Chain A
């Protein structure tokens, strides 16, 4: 008896150690990979490249809301709902450091920056997995993403470059991959330093990017050589460096008279504007856009199509560009407006849920207008007018500009600015066009909601720095 019990007990005791300790305690997830496995195959590295673009596509960033903030700050939209979750604070210039938009946008842009930095860092250490030329291309793409992100931040969170040639405080310039708890504190570089880095990155990107990718979809959703050049025209325009705008523009727009088109790589040119925004998002006009698919799109307040169109939270300010004679009634671009109860709502992003309209980042039309402005500023009126007319007549062939509107440099520039408001409405340009030229943000409003004018000297001329950064970065 006793021995039987003892035997039984022995068996039980032995079974104590039956469970393998290593197997139980050394667990790894089945739905993600560890850092050591990230750069191990060509497809994973390509996935990391796409992941960095996806960082740019964050809902708060080029997924759409960044565009919304920049548009509604200007004078062309009237807010209806006074809802701080759909851009009201931007519309009314009342952001505080605690505002969700401010903190979310800052976080999203810097996340994209870190994704690029991780990519650059990983590619520099990766050998033999992908070819050197592909490695170089991916680094160029990462640098493009970093430049786009820094540009997007520096133009809203820092004083305009032209105000003091970039002498004021800009942004913490993060260029290292961050995956540890070190280096929370980093002082802000000056605006000029940030611009220098952006342009250096874009020059590198131009050098490393391919002339074209293998498909129209990739040409629109990933950066190629022209994408970096196009962004440079925008950056130089912000600096008021018209000579460089022209220099870069010429690469994409070698002609001096219409029709204009790029003659290497992707043959960028203007297309039917309605097509660009409704049926073919990957024409050669769309230099860079954020793709939307059933499985990867935004909904509700994360989608600007929802805010502008479905939920109708903004309408066109009758005394904004909507009422300007330059935007004629036969202009095709009026089809982006929808009349309801006496108000015109904005439907450039017209698809109902699921909201699958691509969100534009860079279009060829913008490059033409950047070029036109720089040309006007440097006395090349004929070219400037030709570029302007190319953009305008594409949508309103019968329109003729008043001679006065094109007569002087100031008038011509003014007319180009108006054209930008018409052509690029809802694509995130208007308020920055005011800031980069140090103009007052005009007052606007309806009978129920008003936003006061904001002079360039005012603190809220730019966005306030986010609390989340102020609280963690002691050198900020």
Chain B
């Protein structure tokens, strides 16, 4: 509300400004065919004057004194600015944006025109990002570029999304692309030290500050980043000022988010019926049917004071309707010599899980200054604080099975007991502080969610400065020297607090608080010498450079327990015991020499070559340096004299090959055998803490790329098709060692193994309708990618991927299959005779399981009742590929007069998802169940997919280890985003000084079309992990968000 008041005051101030005016007229035509272009926006730069061209392309605009130029813009055309120079008439030729050949492509350490560019890249503009209701810009890129897959692993705010550019390109190293912000490769991933609250440092950038995101996909474009580029590169360019009058803009939105697709649970009565049925079945199966010492029912109702049955809906205590708002003000402008951009952002977002929030305060400045004809200076900086808070939701990697996971509590907590006692206190077990079980005769290991949330707090807060200063010196005419120093200093404080009070997880330890602070100091110094010269028909550019980057990471902290009084909730309070927590100290450096040479002839034939030599401190002594590079070529066929076509006006062929590396080693000292120190009681110890590999060398990826770019019907339709093949060799594999060897973490990093990603990308951008009052632009992209592992360590031994615990063997990486395929016990439905789950053992035989048997019987039997061996890992099967084989997006933008409508779909499929949450929803312990359990087997001959309920059965439904019954297809179509905007006519703005106002309403994740029965097929309990994709287990799904927003320009 405060912000609205502020805005109103601003509005009133501007309304008071009156100025002298004059009228300017003219015509706007299409440069290619000289046809008039109707509907073009004509704006006075920096002032509140606005007009549109009519059907004949004519316009007439009244501009205030002091206006020196007009801006012309229309969808499908490049924006153009024309100086007035005192003229009263002006004619403009607009160039189709679609022709795009002069569009700038940001490449490593420079830019190229799209015509020259021979690699494979995609550009995502600020329009897509700036109004999206997200915490970090990467979350808004879903479905926007071919070859780029972006998925939200869960619905907790500020999770790093799972980003894959042309598939997974590593096994043990990160497959997250290199993110370069204004020249400096930056920290990515989750930097929180708590498994409760995520912290993606990319959220430290206000999405509204971003001018463009360029995605480099093939080796020819990424190899300039050499060893860092195997997973692709995201180049982030922030906004800079342009010469001209100062522009002020305000962008704001406010929104609500709700949980989506929550499973329907049993009510209290159904819960008691099902659980007691399980208890009775266990009694019968155990041969205790007539044993009075064994109960036949353990679940009994509780009643409120008014006599009504207690029927608690735990969703109401764990989920909520969340409210968020975000505001950005920016100022930009400049003179011929100096330009500037300044912005400030405030964001306050709530998640739909109770207690989940995100706040950001950020300021940024970018300045460019031309000191002399030969010296240009630039500087930029952004400072911000971001604050993340969340209860443990069980959604982050390595938290799946934590008993405090909110998503699991939401479905598992017993509905037949109250949240509060009659006196208003929490309903708690007085010994353990877990949820009190009322009249039920069982003990529960889960906590009362309402009390737990009250009594715990998990936060992670960043203070981040990202800045750079640089100079460009023109030496001799074609020679330029550029040097840039960048600094990325990020301090994080992660706090976990659990109260000493009953109902908290730390009740037994008298409460606890853990503070960990981490400093990530990252600097980068890049210098390049560039050459650019045209000799007649020949155009040559060359670049040579040197780059040093150093990462210094230091973290330290302490955990305190035994609060001297349960009043204390902060580290600074009084506590009785303390131990260290979260200590870490490491440094890592890259030194690189790189070069690029481009040549083109007649603007028709293009060749680019890159070479880079990288040294990485984390590798073995003799293997620190690696050579990388690539070549690419392009041929603009449509420029040839022999080429004649009325429909095809642009045709370009391109091809590239290159070799890049992956330097994202999991540790800074991976090559070394290390011994660490600890305590044995009071005695100091040393013990082996890492088995290193002194020969650890580079993991490289050889990438081949063939593409064609097509422009049809005056470039109204643009098509790009690309074939790619990435062969990854020398994969650095965290190679599993037999646990009997006793090696730390049972793994050693080795350069073994190889795999490939092959596929095609296809994108179409079309200006379907372009009329004065109405336009329709559509863009569609499709990617097909096949991943196959071709070699692994030690005679191609399988690699098992675990989800949180060693019992959850959810994935397998096996030669001949796609990386991280789903893995587990194969099941074959339910035996109609007795309701037992049938498993298929390694010999292909059917065996059945009963959780309870009489003494002397075995739990596992063949279908004829003879004893069988228990199912173990040696019986597991590969259950399906977990990586989407195809994915993409479809976006449509409509404009009708002042209205605009954007509809953006994303889709993916060809993969399988382990719906592990279903095993929780059918858990036969005291957990509440999904209503699907009502179809359980009850009578002989009954055909159903739900086994007979047996109390404490943890095998039949996949509770103990994954089973194929929970594997489902992951195909989906999502309405990612729909946005309806309205631009207030300029005539209404009058002399207010406001040049434009646009209001919009937006909905995200509005619907999902899928056969998948879990919460969300894009969920990933293991986040960005390469070898354990496609597992949804006990995680919070994505929410559904509705926002209202406004863009105001002055």
Contact = CB atoms under 8 A, between A and B. Distances in A.
Interface stretch (B123-131, B392-400, B791-799): B791-799
Select the residue from B444, B683, B926 with max chain A CB neighbours within 10 A.
B683
B870 A114 contact: no
B952 A12 contact: no
B591 A8 contact: no
Contact of A47 (B279, B432, B686, B961): B686
A452 interface: yes
A100 B294 contact: no
Contacts of A174: 740-742
Interface in B550-595: 550, 561-562, 577, 579, 583-589, 591
Select the residue from A27, A293, A300 with max chain B CB neighbours within 10 A.
A27
A179 B806 contact: no
A312 interface: yes
B307 interface: no
A209 to B, nearest CB: 17
A367 to B, nearest CB: 23
Interface in B981-1020: none
Contacts of A50: 680, 683-686
Given A32-B674, A353-B561, A448-B295, A111 B686 contact: no
Contact of A447 (B294, B678, B872): B294
B960 A84 contact: yes
Interface string A436-476: 00000001010111101101001110001111111111100
A430 interface: no
B855 A292 contact: no
Interface string B425-454: 000000110000000011111000000000
B873 A179 contact: no
A443 B579 CA distance: 43
Interface in B841-875: 852-859, 869-874
A43 interface: yes
A142 B828 CA distance: 50
Given A98-B872, A186-B738, A21 B591 contact: yes
Interface string B474-499: 11000001010000000000000000
A55 interface: yes
A34 B961 CA distance: 39
Interface string B663-674: 000001100111
Contact of B442 (A6, A57, A448): A448
A346 interface: no
A47 B678 CA distance: 9
Contacts of A204: none
A107 B678 CA distance: 19
A183 B550 contact: no
Interface in A49-68: 50-55, 57
A54 B577 contact: no
Interface string A11-36: 01100100101001111111111110
B750 interface: yes
Nearest to A29: B669
A383 interface: no
Interface stretch (A75-83, A374-382, A402-410): A75-83
Interface in B939-965: 951-952, 954-955, 960-961
Contacts, number: 319
Given A53-B680, A96-B870, A114 B672 contact: no
B674 A34 contact: yes
Interface in B289-306: 293-295, 298
Interface stretch (B96-104, B651-659, B688-696, B1022-1030): B688-696
A13 to B, nearest CB: 8
Contacts of A470: 872-874
Interface string B525-563: 101010000000000000000101010000000000110
Interface string A351-366: 0111000000000000
A339 interface: no
Nearest to A309: B508
Contact of B681 (A179, A291, A300): A291
Contact of B583 (A25, A31, A83, A104): A31
B739 interface: yes
Contacts of A449: 952
Nearest to A94: B859
Contact of A32 (B689, B738, B740): B689
Interface in A173-207: 174, 178-181, 183-186
A113 interface: yes
Nearest to B855: A453
A295 B691 CA distance: 26
B672 to A, nearest CB: 5
Contacts of B737: 178, 181, 184, 472
Given A25-B591, A467-B873, A9 B475 contact: yes
B809 interface: yes
Interface in B490-519: 508-510
Contacts of B874: 97, 467, 470
B559 to A, nearest CB: 10
Contacts of A48: 675, 685-687
B748 A12 contact: no
A271 interface: no
Question: Which of the four size classes fits the interface of chain B?
Answer: 35 or more
B844 to A, nearest CB: 19
Contacts of B689: 32
A99 B960 contact: yes
A473 B952 CA distance: 33
B682 interface: yes
B858 A458 contact: yes
B17 interface: no
B735 interface: yes
B807 A103 contact: yes
B615 to A, nearest CB: 5
A178 B872 contact: no
Contact of A51 (B374, B672, B686, B858): B686
B743 interface: yes
Contacts of A447: 293-295, 298, 441
Select the residue from B431, B441, B586, B681 with max chain A CB neighbours within 10 A.
B681
A309 B925 CA distance: 23
Contacts of B793: 181
A16 B800 CA distance: 45
A471 B294 contact: no
A82 B686 contact: no
B288 interface: yes
Nearest to A289: B681
Interface of B: 279, 282, 286, 288, 293-295, 298, 374, 431-432, 441-445, 473-475, 481, 483, 508-510, 525, 527, 529, 546, 548, 550, 561-562, 577, 579, 583-589, 591, 615-617, 621, 624, 668-669, 672-691, 693, 735-744, 746, 748, 750, 793-794, 797-798, 800, 805-809, 852-859, 869-874, 925-926, 951-952, 954-955, 960-961
Interface of A: 5-6, 8-9, 12-13, 16, 19, 21, 24-35, 37-38, 43-44, 46-48, 50-55, 57, 80-84, 92, 94, 96-100, 103-104, 106-107, 110-115, 117-118, 171-172, 174, 178-181, 183-186, 217, 221, 290-296, 299-300, 306, 310-313, 340, 352-354, 443, 445, 447-450, 452-453, 455, 458-460, 464-474
Which 7 pairs, one residue from A and one from B, show the smallest C-beta to C-beta distance? A114-B742, A291-B681, A467-B873, A97-B872, A51-B687, A35-B673, A47-B686
30 contacts: A16-B546, A24-B589, A27-B587, A27-B617, A29-B668, A31-B676, A33-B686, A34-B672, A50-B680, A96-B807, A97-B872, A106-B739, A107-B742, A114-B688, A114-B742, A114-B743, A171-B740, A178-B691, A184-B738, A294-B579, A295-B579, A300-B508, A354-B577, A443-B855, A448-B279, A459-B869, A464-B870, A470-B872, A471-B798, A471-B873
Given A118-B688, A340-B431, 8 more contacts: A32-B690, A33-B675, A33-B686, A81-B443, A181-B750, A186-B738, A468-B736, A470-B872
